[in-house]
Structure 1
Amino acid sequence: MYTISAVIRVRSGYEDTLSHALAEVARHVAANEPDTLGFFISRDVSDPCVMTTYERFRDKDAMDRHNNSDACARFFEVVKPILDGDVVLVTANEISAKL
């Protein structure tokens, strides 16, 4: 199983913009990506400007379809101007999960 963890930091004052943009991606995933097996969004408890996603994909093709989707492109159009640093992405093979 392929996974992506993304750590996203925006400039102060844009926390809600980031939250709404990620929620739009999550809605797209739920409606259109059956091979995206999980899409989790979290906000840092000590810094509201930092949000993290954890994304689980059936295979590499599913991950590629997600990453190349219109929803992801729109997300980056919205957040690119408000980012505070680079998005940290870790692409991995999941070893263990408790579901």
Structure 2
Amino acid sequence: MLTITAVIRAREGTQDVMRRALLDVAAHVQAHEPGTLGFHISQDVDDPCLFTTYERFTDRAAMDLHNGSDAVARFFGIAKLILDDKVVLVTAREISAKG
């Protein structure tokens, strides 16, 4: 199982735009990406400008399909205008999971 964890910080006052952009990606994943087994979005409790995603893929092909999707391209088109810092991406091989 391959995973991507992303840490995303929106500029102050743009967190609602970032939230909608991320939820649009989630809707695309739900409808079009059977190889994406999980796409979790979180918004920090104390800092609403800080978001994380945790994405789980069956294999490299599923991850590449997701990363190359129009939905991800649209997200980064929006995000680049409102990011407060670089997006931190960690691509990993899952070694343990509950569930």
Q: Where do 1:17-96 residues align within 5 Å?
A: 17-96=17-96
Give the count of matched residue pairs: 99
Letter in 2 for 1:68: G
Letter in 2 for 1:10: A
Letter in 2 for 1:66: H
Give the share of equivalent positions with the same residue, in percent. 65
1:46, distance to aligned residue in structure 2 (A): 1.4
- Long gaps (5+) in structure 1: none
Letter in 2 for 1:88: V
Q: Where do 1:3-14 residues align within 5 Å?
A: 3-14=3-14
- Name the TM-score, length of structure 2 as normaliser: 0.99
- Separation in 1, partners of 2:10, 2:36: 25
SS at match of 2:26: helix
- Separation in 1, partners of 2:24, 2:33: 13
Which position in structure 2 is the counterpart of 1:2? Answer: 2
Structure 1 runs (4+) greater than 3 angstroms displaced: none
SS at match of 2:4: strand
- Separation in 2, partners of 1:81, 1:44: 21
- Long gaps (5+) in structure 2: none
Q: CA RMSD in A?
A: 0.4
- Name the TM-score, length of structure 1 as normaliser: 0.99
- Separation in 2, partners of 1:11, 1:25: 19
